[in-house]
Structure 1
């Protein structure tokens, strides 16, 4: 069915309203990117402080975590993973990219899996891959909502209990999950690169193995004053490991949210461009159809005028031919 002026006008109005929504979403996404990136930058300084504190602790105490880690891997060999995605759509391939990366990485991990998903969209993607999903968390909608989410993750996975146990006993290298101690914990999320580009990354958060401890112990101290731990070494180390776990989860979540909004911004920019092209097409058809209707009306007027003129001429000719 061919379009009419009224139907084209309705399409133009609908496209204009949709474009207004798209541009509002673009503005919200751009503003959100800024606050999440700022939170990551602010967190970097605190993360550096935690690393330096762990550096001092590992230099001054002898850790027996490697022996406990090796026993845990041999006896338990259970792997946990937390995958950060989104609750909402209009984010392009954001969820597919991180889910496929997590699926591919976890497929190479031996042992029993426990997977938590942050976001309904990525949860559905992981469920389609038949991964053993243990829990689902809602995606925070602001920087202030990240901290409660991290608290929920720590409680659900019992990370607080694990990290508060004595490191020498090896409990800090394990993650308790439904009475099962986990040998390894991985984080999967999208990390922003530049503009609207992001990449999926993974972070092995646990165990706190010898290589990780050695790297921290070898960190250069920023000043000439050599530090030392005041009070109990174990108590200080417990607190620093808890902060390390919290900061790592917070940063992963913030970077995932920044990537999500960058992906949404890119999707909205493409949608805005497509709507502009569609509106241009609609306006062109509208003006052509309107001009065509005007031409038809003018033709009807001219045809009517010519018909009346011809009729008048015929009558005048007939009157002239009548006999006197």
Structure 2
């Protein structure tokens, strides 16, 4: 059985670990709230951009319907994590992509850990970007992803791009979700009603130029909200992991408390027996 001093050292170490876990839980909870606020802050802007697209598309001729492309061959953007302690986060996303039968000609992985998993799974060619660690880094990451997409569009006109990202759904902190980024869903955007039908806006520049600018903003908003949801999902997964760790530490501390009390009692009993034995020896 360990000595009293060894048990007390374990007790102290576990107490410090419990403090770290509580801090990580707090940081994750705060980060989830920040990501949710960042995503919701773009709701009005997203609606305005979509309404503007509907108004511009109404002035342009309806393009001929194109043959539907195979989504399994689309270029992929995967949003994952650079950090651990978040459970089955990156693995769950990669498993969903592989289960969908995706065979991408291009692949961008956001998150170094996810990129390494993709490379091990043989998903090539592979480009990688660091994942944001907080809501304040979302804009920088979106700009970097847009730069990669711009390169893809220069290399292949009409490239189809699918975005996969974890999202909190029905209690699952990392339920993978697929979203088509390119080409934009012009038919759906065209069908969106202008909120003020009696006051359809006029344009101070060519409709095609305005359409291109609005589509870039539409792509930015979709990427930003997806990244915010993925980051919130990562922190939610980490929060659940920390809660499980805290529960385990609490149980272990309770067990150690009992062992420390027993060891202390045995030490006291041993000292008393030594005193009694010494007294009896002197009495003789």
TM-score when normalising by structure 2: 0.91
Give distance in 2, aligned partners of 1:12 and 1:254.
Answer: 39
Structure 2: stretches of 5+ with no match in the other structure: none
Match of 2:198 in 1: 225
| Structure 1 pair 214–73 and aligned structure 2 pair: CA distance change class (3 A) | closer
1:152 Cα deviation from its structure 2 partner: 1.3
Give distance in 2, aligned partners of 1:133 and 1:256.
Answer: 23
**Highest CA radius of gyration, 1 or 2?**
1
Q: How does 1:179-198 map to 2 (within 5 A)?
A: 179-181=155-157, 183-193=159-169, 197-198=173-174
Matched, 1:122 2:114: yes
Give distance in 1, aligned partners of 2:76 and 2:158.
Answer: 10
Q: How does 1:149-160 map to 2 (within 5 A)?
A: 149-158=141-150
Q: Is the 8 A contact 2:73 2:102 kept in 1?
A: no
Give distance in 1, aligned partners of 2:73 and 2:62.
Answer: 22
1:88 Cα deviation from its structure 2 partner: 0.5
Match of 1:32 in 2: 31
User: Equivalent of 1:142, from 120, 127, 134?
Assistant: 134
Q: Is the 8 A contact 1:114 1:133 kept in 2?
A: yes
Q: Is the 8 A contact 2:51 2:195 kept in 1?
A: no
| Structure 1 pair 61–33 and aligned structure 2 pair: CA distance change class (3 A) | same
TM-score when normalising by structure 1: 0.80
Listed one character per residue, the Cα deviations across residues 265-302 of structure 1 (whole Å, up to 9, x for unaligned) are 11111111111111111111011011011112112222
Give distance in 1, aligned partners of 2:63 and 2:225.
Answer: 28
Q: Is the 8 A contact 1:95 1:122 kept in 2?
A: yes
User: Equivalent of 2:82, from 78, 81, 87?
Assistant: 87
SS at match of 2:42: helix
Q: How does 1:229-308 map to 2 (within 5 A)?
A: 229-230=202-203, 231-308=205-282
Give distance in 1, aligned partners of 2:7 and 2:227.
Answer: 45
1:216 Cα deviation from its structure 2 partner: 2.1
Give distance in 2, aligned partners of 1:63 and 1:246.
Answer: 24
Listed one character per residue, the Cα deviations across residues 186-206 of structure 1 (whole Å, up to 9, x for unaligned) are 001011236663411010111
Match of 2:178 in 1: 202
Q: Is the 8 A contact 2:87 2:241 kept in 1?
A: yes
Residue range with higher mean Cα deviation, 217-226 or 235-244: 217-226
Q: Is the 8 A contact 2:92 2:174 kept in 1?
A: no
| Structure 1 pair 250–266 and aligned structure 2 pair: CA distance change class (3 A) | same
* Number of corresponding residues: 282
SS at match of 1:225: helix
Match of 1:56 in 2: 55
Listed one character per residue, the Cα deviations across residues 194-248 of structure 1 (whole Å, up to 9, x for unaligned) are 666341101011123xxx3232222233334241441311011011100111111
Match of 1:168 in 2: none
Match of 1:176 in 2: 153
Give distance in 2, aligned partners of 1:243 and 1:29.
Answer: 29
SS at match of 1:205: strand
Q: CA RMSD in A?
A: 2.2
Q: Is the 8 A contact 1:196 1:265 kept in 2?
A: no
Give distance in 2, aligned partners of 1:133 and 1:21.
Answer: 39
Listed one character per residue, the Cα deviations across residues 2-27 of structure 1 (whole Å, up to 9, x for unaligned) are 20111111111111111111111111
Give distance in 1, aligned partners of 2:90 and 2:139.
Answer: 22
SS at match of 2:77: strand
| Structure 1 pair 241–135 and aligned structure 2 pair: CA distance change class (3 A) | same
Q: Is the 8 A contact 1:79 1:182 kept in 2?
A: no
